[in-house]
Amino acid sequence: MIQIAPSLLSADFSRLEQEAADVAAGGANLLHLDVMDGHFVPNITFGPCVVSSLRAKTRLFFDVHFMLCDPLTYVTPFAKAGADMITFHYESGADIQKTIDAIKSAGLKVGMAVKPGTDAAVLEPFLPQLDMALVMTVEPGFGGQRFMPQMLPKVEYLSRWAKKNRRPLWIQVDGGIDAVTAKAAVCAGADVLVAGSAVFGAEDRGQAIRAILRSAGEAV
Ligand code: DX5
Ligand code: ZN
Protein backbone atom coordinates (compact mmCIF):
# COMPACT_ATOMS: atom_id res chain seq x y z
CA MET A 1 0.00 0.00 0.00
CA ILE A 2 1.28 3.45 -0.93
CA GLN A 3 0.90 6.21 1.64
CA ILE A 4 0.94 9.95 1.04
CA ALA A 5 2.44 12.18 3.72
CA PRO A 6 1.52 15.80 2.94
CA SER A 7 4.31 18.10 4.13
CA LEU A 8 3.05 20.91 6.31
CA LEU A 9 5.93 23.09 5.12
CA SER A 10 3.80 24.21 2.17
CA ALA A 11 0.67 24.83 4.27
CA ASP A 12 -0.64 28.17 5.49
CA PHE A 13 0.95 28.46 8.94
CA SER A 14 -1.77 30.82 10.14
CA ARG A 15 -4.38 28.04 9.88
CA LEU A 16 -2.61 24.78 10.67
CA GLU A 17 -5.65 23.11 12.23
CA GLN A 18 -7.75 23.58 9.09
CA GLU A 19 -4.86 22.58 6.83
CA ALA A 20 -4.41 19.32 8.73
CA ALA A 21 -8.15 18.66 8.67
CA ASP A 22 -8.21 19.30 4.94
CA VAL A 23 -5.59 16.66 4.08
CA ALA A 24 -7.14 14.19 6.54
CA ALA A 25 -10.50 14.64 4.79
CA GLY A 26 -8.65 14.30 1.48
CA GLY A 27 -7.48 10.81 2.41
CA ALA A 28 -4.06 11.28 4.04
CA ASN A 29 -3.21 9.25 7.14
CA LEU A 30 0.18 10.80 7.75
CA LEU A 31 1.30 14.39 8.19
CA HIS A 32 4.95 15.15 7.43
CA LEU A 33 6.38 17.75 9.81
CA ASP A 34 9.68 19.31 8.74
CA VAL A 35 11.69 20.56 11.70
CA MET A 36 14.57 22.82 10.64
CA ASP A 37 17.06 24.55 12.90
CA GLY A 38 18.74 27.13 10.65
CA HIS A 39 22.04 25.22 10.99
CA PHE A 40 21.61 21.83 9.37
CA VAL A 41 19.66 23.61 6.64
CA PRO A 42 19.38 27.33 5.86
CA ASN A 43 15.76 27.57 6.98
CA ILE A 44 13.81 27.56 10.25
CA THR A 45 10.34 26.10 10.74
CA PHE A 46 8.73 25.22 14.08
CA GLY A 47 9.44 23.59 17.40
CA PRO A 48 7.66 21.20 19.78
CA CYS A 49 5.07 23.74 20.98
CA VAL A 50 3.58 24.01 17.50
CA VAL A 51 3.49 20.22 17.19
CA SER A 52 1.88 19.91 20.60
CA SER A 53 -0.84 22.45 19.75
CA LEU A 54 -1.59 20.67 16.50
CA ARG A 55 -1.57 17.26 18.24
CA ALA A 56 -4.70 18.33 20.12
CA LYS A 57 -6.49 19.05 16.83
CA THR A 58 -5.87 16.02 14.61
CA ARG A 59 -5.49 12.25 14.72
CA LEU A 60 -3.10 12.16 11.73
CA PHE A 61 0.08 10.14 12.24
CA PHE A 62 2.86 12.68 12.89
CA ASP A 63 5.85 11.82 10.70
CA VAL A 64 8.49 14.23 12.02
CA HIS A 65 11.49 14.91 9.76
CA PHE A 66 14.37 16.34 11.80
CA MET A 67 16.70 18.59 9.82
CA LEU A 68 18.72 19.40 12.93
CA CYS A 69 22.38 19.33 13.91
CA ASP A 70 21.55 17.91 17.32
CA PRO A 71 18.66 15.46 16.92
CA LEU A 72 19.29 13.62 20.20
CA THR A 73 18.53 16.72 22.29
CA TYR A 74 15.15 17.13 20.63
CA VAL A 75 13.83 13.56 20.79
CA THR A 76 12.15 13.94 24.19
CA PRO A 77 10.55 17.36 23.54
CA PHE A 78 9.06 16.17 20.24
CA ALA A 79 8.00 12.82 21.68
CA LYS A 80 6.17 14.69 24.46
CA ALA A 81 4.65 17.01 21.86
CA GLY A 82 3.03 14.03 20.13
CA ALA A 83 5.34 12.83 17.35
CA ASP A 84 4.57 9.28 16.18
CA MET A 85 7.80 8.82 14.27
CA ILE A 86 11.08 10.72 14.16
CA THR A 87 13.40 10.56 11.18
CA PHE A 88 16.86 12.09 11.57
CA HIS A 89 19.69 12.63 9.13
CA TYR A 90 22.76 10.44 8.83
CA GLU A 91 24.68 13.68 8.13
CA SER A 92 23.53 15.38 11.36
CA GLY A 93 26.73 14.38 13.14
CA ALA A 94 24.70 12.75 15.91
CA ASP A 95 25.65 9.59 17.77
CA ILE A 96 23.45 7.43 15.56
CA GLN A 97 23.00 4.48 17.91
CA LYS A 98 22.15 6.73 20.86
CA THR A 99 19.64 8.65 18.76
CA ILE A 100 17.93 5.47 17.50
CA ASP A 101 17.79 4.15 21.07
CA ALA A 102 16.32 7.41 22.39
CA ILE A 103 13.60 7.50 19.72
CA LYS A 104 12.71 3.85 20.36
CA SER A 105 12.68 4.23 24.13
CA ALA A 106 10.31 7.15 23.73
CA GLY A 107 7.98 4.61 22.10
CA LEU A 108 8.16 6.11 18.61
CA LYS A 109 8.91 4.67 15.21
CA VAL A 110 12.36 5.59 13.96
CA GLY A 111 13.65 6.61 10.54
CA MET A 112 16.93 7.73 9.08
CA ALA A 113 17.41 10.05 6.11
CA VAL A 114 20.13 10.68 3.55
CA LYS A 115 20.74 13.89 1.63
CA PRO A 116 21.23 13.72 -2.15
CA GLY A 117 25.04 13.63 -1.85
CA THR A 118 25.07 10.69 0.58
CA ASP A 119 25.12 7.05 -0.48
CA ALA A 120 22.20 5.01 0.89
CA ALA A 121 24.65 2.22 1.76
CA VAL A 122 25.78 4.23 4.81
CA LEU A 123 22.43 3.30 6.37
CA GLU A 124 22.95 -0.44 5.95
CA PRO A 125 24.38 -1.15 9.43
CA PHE A 126 21.33 0.55 10.97
CA LEU A 127 18.56 -0.70 8.66
CA PRO A 128 17.61 -3.72 10.81
CA GLN A 129 16.65 -1.31 13.60
CA LEU A 130 14.74 1.18 11.47
CA ASP A 131 11.05 1.44 10.63
CA MET A 132 11.75 3.78 7.72
CA ALA A 133 14.54 4.97 5.44
CA LEU A 134 14.13 8.36 3.79
CA VAL A 135 15.74 9.20 0.48
CA MET A 136 15.81 12.97 -0.08
CA THR A 137 15.00 13.69 -3.69
CA VAL A 138 15.89 17.41 -3.32
CA GLU A 139 18.45 19.20 -1.16
CA PRO A 140 16.71 19.58 2.20
CA GLY A 141 15.58 23.03 3.35
CA PHE A 142 12.79 24.22 1.09
CA GLY A 143 9.60 23.05 -0.57
CA GLY A 144 8.81 23.45 -4.23
CA GLN A 145 12.11 22.18 -5.68
CA ARG A 146 12.57 19.89 -8.65
CA PHE A 147 12.63 16.09 -8.12
CA MET A 148 16.06 14.50 -8.66
CA PRO A 149 15.52 11.25 -10.60
CA GLN A 150 19.17 10.31 -10.09
CA MET A 151 18.22 9.44 -6.47
CA LEU A 152 16.06 6.51 -7.61
CA PRO A 153 18.87 3.91 -7.48
CA LYS A 154 19.04 4.57 -3.73
CA VAL A 155 15.35 3.72 -3.44
CA GLU A 156 15.94 0.55 -5.48
CA TYR A 157 18.86 -0.40 -3.24
CA LEU A 158 16.79 0.03 -0.06
CA SER A 159 13.86 -1.83 -1.53
CA ARG A 160 16.12 -4.73 -2.55
CA TRP A 161 17.63 -4.78 0.95
CA ALA A 162 14.19 -4.90 2.59
CA LYS A 163 13.05 -7.77 0.34
CA LYS A 164 16.24 -9.74 0.75
CA ASN A 165 16.18 -9.37 4.52
CA ARG A 166 12.39 -9.72 4.79
CA ARG A 167 12.15 -6.50 6.77
CA PRO A 168 8.98 -4.37 6.83
CA LEU A 169 11.02 -1.20 6.11
CA TRP A 170 9.05 1.80 4.87
CA ILE A 171 10.88 3.60 2.10
CA GLN A 172 10.07 7.28 1.96
CA VAL A 173 10.90 9.80 -0.75
CA ASP A 174 10.79 13.52 0.00
CA GLY A 175 11.13 16.39 -2.44
CA GLY A 176 9.50 17.23 -5.74
CA ILE A 177 6.87 14.48 -5.55
CA ASP A 178 3.78 15.11 -7.66
CA ALA A 179 1.43 13.14 -9.87
CA VAL A 180 4.21 12.71 -12.45
CA THR A 181 7.27 11.90 -10.33
CA ALA A 182 5.39 9.63 -7.88
CA LYS A 183 5.19 6.93 -10.52
CA ALA A 184 8.97 6.61 -10.91
CA ALA A 185 9.47 6.70 -7.13
CA VAL A 186 6.97 3.90 -6.57
CA CYS A 187 8.39 1.82 -9.43
CA ALA A 188 11.77 2.08 -7.72
CA GLY A 189 10.24 0.77 -4.47
CA ALA A 190 9.11 3.81 -2.47
CA ASP A 191 5.95 3.34 -0.43
CA VAL A 192 5.67 6.58 1.57
CA LEU A 193 5.50 9.66 -0.60
CA VAL A 194 6.00 13.07 0.97
CA ALA A 195 4.32 15.83 -1.02
CA GLY A 196 4.32 19.45 0.07
CA SER A 197 3.61 21.91 -2.71
CA ALA A 198 1.80 19.32 -4.86
CA VAL A 199 -0.81 18.88 -2.10
CA PHE A 200 -0.97 22.19 -0.19
CA GLY A 201 -0.47 24.21 -3.37
CA ALA A 202 -3.62 22.66 -4.85
CA GLU A 203 -7.07 24.15 -4.34
CA ASP A 204 -8.57 20.70 -3.78
CA ARG A 205 -6.20 18.73 -1.56
CA GLY A 206 -8.19 15.50 -1.84
CA GLN A 207 -7.99 15.64 -5.61
CA ALA A 208 -4.24 16.30 -5.43
CA ILE A 209 -3.72 13.34 -3.08
CA ARG A 210 -5.80 11.04 -5.30
CA ALA A 211 -3.93 12.18 -8.41
CA ILE A 212 -0.61 11.22 -6.80
CA LEU A 213 -2.00 7.87 -5.61
CA ARG A 214 -3.40 7.10 -9.05
CA SER A 215 -0.09 7.88 -10.69
CA ALA A 216 1.48 5.53 -8.15
CA GLY A 217 -0.84 2.78 -9.39
CA GLU A 218 -3.32 2.75 -6.50
CA ALA A 219 -7.01 2.35 -7.29
CA VAL A 220 -8.66 5.48 -5.87
C1 DX5 B 1 12.41 19.78 2.24
C2 DX5 B 1 11.41 19.04 3.08
C3 DX5 B 1 10.26 18.51 2.35
C4 DX5 B 1 9.45 19.56 1.59
C5 DX5 B 1 8.97 18.91 0.33
O6 DX5 B 1 13.58 19.93 2.96
O7 DX5 B 1 12.02 17.94 3.73
O8 DX5 B 1 9.43 17.72 3.17
O9 DX5 B 1 8.35 20.04 2.30
O10 DX5 B 1 8.30 19.85 -0.42
P11 DX5 B 1 7.87 19.58 -1.93
O12 DX5 B 1 6.97 18.39 -1.93
O13 DX5 B 1 7.20 20.85 -2.33
O14 DX5 B 1 9.14 19.31 -2.69
ZN1 ZN C 1 10.72 16.52 4.80
Q: Is 176 in the pocket of ligand 1 (CB under 6 A)?
A: yes
Among candidate residues 22, 37, 174, 178, the one labeled active-site is 174
Instruction: State the pLDDT at residue 209.
Output: 98
Question: Can you say whether the dihedral through the CA atoms of 82, 86, 91, 96 is positive or negative?
Answer: positive
Per-residue pLDDT tens digits for 58-82: 999 999 999 999 999 999 999 999 9
Q: Is 6 in the pocket of ligand 1 (CB under 6 A)?
A: no
Report residues of the chain scoring pLDDT below 70. none
CA-closest residue to ligand 1 atom 7:
140
Q: Is 175 in the pocket of ligand 1 (CB under 6 A)?
A: yes
Q: Give how far Cα 106 sits from Cα of 20, 42, 100, 130, 204, Å.
A: 24, 28, 10, 14, 36
Could you give the angle at which helices 181-188 and 152-164 cross, rounded to 10 degrees?
Answer: 30
Distance 207 CA to ligand 2 centre (A): 21
Ligand 1: which of 4, 30, 31, 34 to mutate, judged by most atoms within 8 Å of the beta carbon?
34
Residue type, 50: V
Instruction: State the pLDDT at residue 25.
Output: 98
Q: Is 89 in the pocket of ligand 1 (CB under 6 A)?
A: no
Q: Is 7 in the pocket of ligand 1 (CB under 6 A)?
A: yes
Gap between the terminal Cα atoms of the chain: 12
Q: What is the mean pLDDT of the chain?
A: 98
CA-closest residue to ligand 1 atom 4:
143
Instruction: State the pLDDT at residue 219.
Output: 84
Sort strands 30-36 and 3-6 into parallel, antiparallel or unpaired: unpaired
Instruction: State the pLDDT at residue 220.
Output: 85
3-state helix vs strand vs coil in the chain, percent to 5: 45, 20, 35
Distance 34 CA to ligand 2 centre (A): 5
